[in-house]
Amino acid sequence: MNAVVAAVVIMLVLSLCRIHVVVALIAGAVAGGLISGLSLDATIAAFNNGLGGGATVALSYATLGAFAVAIGKSGLAHALADKALALIGRQKNDKAAGGIRFVIIGLLIAIAMSSQNILPIHIAFIPLVVPPLLYVLAKLKIDRRLIACVLTFGLITPYMFLPVGFGGIYLNEILVANITKNGVDTTGLNVMTAMALPALGMLSGLLIAVLFSYRGDREYDMTLIAKTERMDVQYNAGTLIMALVAIAAAFVVQLWLNSMILGALTGFLLFNLSGVVKWKEADDLFTEGMKMLAMIGFIMIAASGFAEVMRETGDIASLVQGSVSAIGNNKALAALLMLVVGLLITMGIGSSFSTIPIIAALYVPLALELGFGPLAIMALVGTAGALGDAGSPASDSTLGPTAGLNVDGQHNHIWDSVVPTFLHYNLPLLGFGWLAAMVL
């Protein structure tokens, strides 16, 4: 059995059985390494070598957690909640409350999509924006699985369709560059045309989640939310202005220095200097914030080790080659197998940006031989890379939403983020990506 397939299946099954994701990643990595023929020592060495790749992201999460707690201390969270709750209280019927529900969903989609291009901060906005809304979401009885789907849609769809911000990197610098490198003339082709149908698949999954799957009410323990929201905090105009200044400064520093860590530390330091966070409380608040997002950081570190073991086995290439040999001259089967292999690889390593260089070298020559056109090849490889970003336990597109929605312990990463996003996005992407490959 292919070691990569075995490792990913073991990791996913253990995760679904509610074994902690970190343990599942370690177990899957060790099993995959041994199945591939690596010795236990070589497997452990590869895993250890890969851990450093997730350290930057983990530390970024930790500092963002501290920054988010400081924002809570400023009272901005309570000001937002008070305004929203007052608006809810003025509604006279369920139809009006439903309107507020859609406004919140629309705002979160807009913010998430903007984080990929207009203000390319990626998941950094989630621990700052989402926790303050949990009390409001609970009052409206909005299912957090819906919010996870909304955020994941906003994190993935822009980069796989709009060639600006992170989309410029994914579509132009990675997708088009690798296709051109492997023999396809992309002159005059519009990458948005190639990715339009796959993006429509993402949109269909979002609409199903909003209008059908999670339209019903879901109850959450308000006392747990109240504890997280620090209901004893007092705020005034000065603390709210300082919070906005700190948030703006954090974003500016992050974009200027390309460092989420320094951006969050800048914001936290401003809270200290302004007196919103007292010096004697700063250490405890920072520790509290780090604890809040520590689990996500450890998952990212473990995922980097897992990905390194998968690369070390050499079975990623054999997985792709095996699918190629099984295809023959069947274009429909070829498109489907390419997409499924891309799904497996991305779910294992947690990065669509890293998947395309792996698969393009073999997929592009095969697609040319089978008669796929340039746009079809672009859609095929681009969708194969994006598949698995939603629904992977190790992807920041699922870890980010969990980081914001689980601050009170009422949102399970696997069953409330991973499974819903897998069902609502990967399955439509498979269908629409296959259709794009066949009709373009």
Cα atoms in the Cβ-side hemisphere of radius 13 Å centred on 247: 20
Looking at residue 68, its pLDDT comes to: 73
Residue 324 clears pLDDT 70, i.e. is over it: no
Judge whether 191 and 126 are in contact, CB under 8 Å. no
Amino acid found at 407: V
Closest CA to 2 of 300, 326, 304: 326
pLDDT tens for 181-193 read: 888 888 888 999 9
Residue 89 clears pLDDT 70, i.e. is over it: no
Angle (deg, nearest 10), helices 237-257 and 76-89: 120
Residue 326 clears pLDDT 80, i.e. is over it: no
Q: How far apart are the first and last CA of the chain?
A: 34
**Gap between the Cα atoms of 115 and 222, Å rounded:** 29
Judge whether 7 and 350 are in contact, CB under 8 Å. no
**Gap between the Cα atoms of 384 and 404, Å rounded:** 28
pLDDT tens for 407-432 read: 888 999 999 999 999 999 999 999 99
Give the start-end residues of each E strand in 226-302.
Answer: none
Angle CA 71–75–76, to nearest 5: 65
Judge whether 370 and 334 are in contact, CB under 8 Å. yes
Looking at residue 410, its pLDDT comes to: 93
**Gap between the Cα atoms of 261 and 267, Å rounded:** 10
Tokens of 327: 């295809």
Looking at residue 94, its pLDDT comes to: 57
Residue 78 clears pLDDT 70, i.e. is over it: no
pTM for this one?
0.81
pLDDT tens for 124-168 read: 778 778 887 888 888 888 999 999 999 999 999 999 998 887 788
**Gap between the Cα atoms of 60 and 236, Å rounded:** 29
pLDDT tens for 15-60 read: 888 788 888 889 988 998 999 889 999 989 988 888 876 677 677 7
**Gap between the Cα atoms of 70 and 286, Å rounded:** 8
Cβ neighbours around 189 below 10 Å, total:
18
pLDDT tens for 291-321 read: 766 777 787 788 778 888 888 888 777 777 7
pLDDT tens for 230-273 read: 555 677 788 888 888 888 888 788 778 877 778 888 888 888 88
